[in-house]
Amino acid sequence: MDLRQLKHFAAVAETLHFGRAAERLGMTQPPLSQSIQTLERELGAALFTRTKRSVSLTPFGEQWLGHVREALDRVNSLPEIARHLRRGEAGRLELSFVSTADYSILPALVRRYATLFPDVEIALTEATSDVQIAALCEGRGHAGIIIAPADSALPATLAYRLLVSEPLVAAVPEAWIADGRIALADGRIPASTVVEQPLIIFPRRVAPAFHDLVTGYYARRRSAPRIVQEAIQMQTIISLVSAGMGISLVPASLRNLARTGVRYAELLDAPCLETGITWRRDYMPATLERFLAIAFDTSVT
């Protein structure tokens, strides 16, 4: 069977008159009757009961009509669906992100995008910057929110734009403040105190720019960090701080990650961490184009 036969069946079922159905369809009655007979043979069941005076649906025809109408409605909606897909108003957006973005730029971006384009399926994946970059280079995913790498560290096949820059703060065990091991002045921690404490940090292989930013803070003070633990997930780092294993230098937005036993303290002359979005230069689905417009605060109408 084909779409034309389904339209023929629906027209006759709705008019219960072959002549009026043929007129609606812009055809003559004989080929319409032949089309219905061919369809009935293919289905192996009669769709209509015919007499000289009337046409009525068989019980089988009545049951099948609902399915046919649903199929025709879906076919009729295909041009509109195509328009929405072409305009990025429907479809799928595959976005990966570093854990730090979950406490800063990501929630607002996703919330606004989902509000403007509710018919787009958003697939979010948390991953470190190195994993995201590798996935994009292999053709997986649409874009990634990453910690800004050095220019030489980003493959030429990927584009990159800055989203947010924020200062680092110190995440400190509250117990160390309570027992006097660390003294804060107006909520700030002196650099001389920072460099004396054991440090919890990201491994350099997963976030080289972030790692170098932190270690550079120590180097400028002619000191080397005493790294006691490395962790990939920001939640893990904060948990280790809460457990009293050491301090950590984290983006200021991590204040949104409230954790018992952790105090966030401002750093004097704090370095700033940049977070941005990267995507393949040769691949721009409409859904991603819309997302980038939101991310860079340009027109999305």
| List of domains in the chain | 3-86 (1.10.10.10), 91-163+275-295 (3.40.190.10), 165-272 (3.40.190.10)
User: DSSP string spanning the chain?
Assistant: --HHHHHHHHHHHHHS-HHHHHHHHTS-HHHHHHHHHHHHHHHTS--EEE-SS-EEE-HHHHHHHHHHHHHHHHHHHHHHHHHHHHTTSSEEEEEEE-GGGGGTTHHHHHHHHHHH-TTEEEEEEE--HHHHHHHHHTT-SSEEEEEPPPGGGS-TTEEEEEEEEEEEEEEEEHHHHHTTSS--BTTEE-HHHHTTSEEEE--TTT-HHHHHHHHHHHHTTT---EEEEE-SSHHHHHHHHHTTS-BEEEEGGGGGS--TTEEEEEETT--EEEEEEEEETT---HHHHHHHHHHTT----
pLDDT per position as a tens digit, 159-210? 999 999 999 999 999 999 999 999 998 889 999 999 999 999 999 888 888 9
Instruction: Please identify every stretch of the chain with a pLDDT value under 70, giving residue numbers as ranges.
Output: 150-152, 298-301
pTM (2 d.p.): 0.74
Classify burial at 251, counting beta carbons within 10 Å of its beta carbon; exposed 0-12, middle 13-18, buried 19 or more: buried
pLDDT at 300: 45
Which residue reads 């966030």 in tokens?
Answer: 264
pLDDT at 214: 95
pLDDT at 207: 82
pLDDT at 200: 97
pLDDT at 153: 73
